[in-house]
Amino acid sequence: MDRQGAVPAAAPAIIDTDPGIDDAVALALAARAPEIALVAVTTTYGNAPLPVTTRNARYVLALAGRRDIPVIPGSAAPLTRAFDGNPVRHGPEGLGHAIPPMPVAPEDVADPGALLLTLATLPPARRVILITLGPLTNLAHALRADPVAVRARVAVHVAVMGTFTRTGDAALPDFNVDADPDAVELVLASGLPTRLVPLDISSQVRIPERDIRRSRGSPDPLERMLGEALAYPGGADRAVHDAVAVAGALAPDVLDFVPRRLKIGEPGGRAHGALTGDPGGYRVEVATAVRVRAVRRLLGRVLAQPA
């Protein structure tokens, strides 16, 4: 990587995800991208239960013509706490109005060690971009089991999480942190080179309703499915948070990052489930600006663009 975080052409990547509408857009973009080689997808609970998110990931990859990419189910629940689910924003099947014809595979069993096992299958000298789009439980399990191996195999970790105020001095809770703050704490404390794409940045990239309608009428089955997903619940302009993180891996100049130190808000406090600035906190890099037009051009590979 260069000083701006550039990655070489066809850099190997693993996506850890909980599809999820914007996860589906991100996964589709990565599957069709020549800039990275998507070597595997691990799944987690989050926008739907684990069997559903695993099925959804396979469905997106099948429509993208990438059945060759393995999808490995990971964690079904947070490290230490109960999880109530997040069905409202993404619909009962996790993909909005898109209903996958693929059944949920009964043989898919949760394996919290899925990410570590996936990293272990790579050649010893091969380091990957790890992009996490949901709760960090799978990565936390991997770091608990073998932090040396994880650090040896992961060149950079890109995570979608955090929602910062304009001053950058405080934060609000977001789903990926609040789902498993124990996992977030473990990952940030690990020293893994982590880059955060916070929601106040990613929310600037929105798919207009007119483009969603055009995608729903596309002859491309993948684009048509994404249009159906993005139309949920009412077809209004939709932010594609997770796709911004993938776009940043494809074209690193679309995001600007600055170093920051962050901590996780104390349970029960006003900042519970949030990342906040703290001079003694964990060092990460945080995206502070996004080039919206550049990201939209990349999204044109899988979604309709303005006429």
Catalytic residues: 241
Concatenated DSSP letters of 71-102: EEE--SS-SSS-----HHHH-TTSSTT---SS
Nearest to 122 by CA among 45, 70, 182: 70
Residue 102 phi, psi (nearest 5):
-75, 130
**Spatial contact of 61 and 67, defined as CB atoms under 8 Å apart:** yes
**Spatial contact of 127 and 13, defined as CB atoms under 8 Å apart:** no
**Residue 241 to residue 174: CA distance in whole angstroms:** 12
Residues facing residue 137 across a β-bridge: none
**Residue 245 to residue 264: CA distance in whole angstroms:** 21
Q: How many CA atoms lie within 13 A of 224 on its CB side?
A: 8
Q: What's CA 202's distance to the chain center, in Å?
A: 11
Distances (CA, A) of 162 to 192, 198, 299: 17, 5, 23
**Residue 48 to residue 90: CA distance in whole angstroms:** 8
